[in-house]
Chain A
């Protein structure tokens, strides 16, 4: 399958949040989200409570998927950066490590140039973390050393979800 399952562990999750917090400060951004290409929110920082993060994640992924489709039609691999300019707020969307989407929301207190510069630096750090993460889950799978929570799941567990 093209994309293996994404599994997030505590250690990497903390490292990712450190990178995003730094990016938020250095780029003077309002909010930053990290979204899986399948539309699932991984994490966010800044004024996240002001936004419907789940919807934002799914629409961003849809957006990236649609522009990716456009790119293929004209013979490009992908468009790795998207920029949406609004009256007050702007969105800078970029693909990191080929599989996650970094969304930076900023206003007039920052600028596109600054955001692009800082995103580039942060992307490198995030790529390193995601590469380690992937290796880690592959390794755990090989050694069978996974504390997978659903191994013991029963019919009743699932029925309870819908009760």
Chain B
């Protein structure tokens, strides 16, 4: 849940990037980190194994600017995608304000995508959230690869409710900021609605 501090005039929100192993969650954060001005970002933390697989989470704090005199900060987290890290994934979803699901567009990863969305739904329920009610966007990553599934099919399988979705190539940055902007927007409007 977002944290509103009237004393220091700040609002902090938590965004979690979810998806199957090697779908590009960390790459999304790395691109955001590279392209953000030094004064708007904090240090990026990656709790990863020696082979650079995410072990617990990646964390990137962004201070994008002010809205109505309130400093607006987004804390970006990724979960470890590998199936056996489920206990850690649950922990990272605690207090989430919005979720980005990063799908791997490659044909052979379709089953992993579907399994991961189901896992997301279940883990959110455990934390008391409903995927159909919280701010949620989907990103179809790796569009530059040759063996990709069509966006229509991805949409049918992974986004039946029609939340905002984006094609992306996180290594070149295509679609990365569009995705981030969309989830930020949904979160802020959700905050507004809540009052």
Contact = CB atoms under 8 A, between A and B. Distances in A.
A14 B7 contact: yes
A6 B72 contact: no
Interface of A: 1-10, 13-14, 36-40, 42, 52, 54-55, 58-59, 62, 65-66, 68-69, 146-153, 155, 157-162
Contact of B95 (A9, A37, A68): A37
Contacts of A6: 1, 3-4
A1 B94 CA distance: 11
A1, A14, A158 — most chain B CB neighbours (10 Å): A158
A139 to B, nearest CB: 14
B172 interface: no
B6 A9 contact: yes
Chain B interface category by residue count? 35 or more
Given A52-B43, A66-B56, A38 B94 contact: yes
14 contacts: A1-B1, A4-B1, A10-B6, A36-B3, A37-B94, A38-B1, A38-B3, A55-B43, A58-B45, A58-B61, A62-B92, A69-B87, A150-B11, A151-B195
Nearest to B67: A157
Nearest to B187: A158
A58 B3 contact: no
Contacts of B68: 149-150, 152-153, 157
Interface string B60-77: 010011011110100101
Nearest to B87: A69
B97 to A, nearest CB: 9
Interface in B1-31: 1-8, 11-12, 14
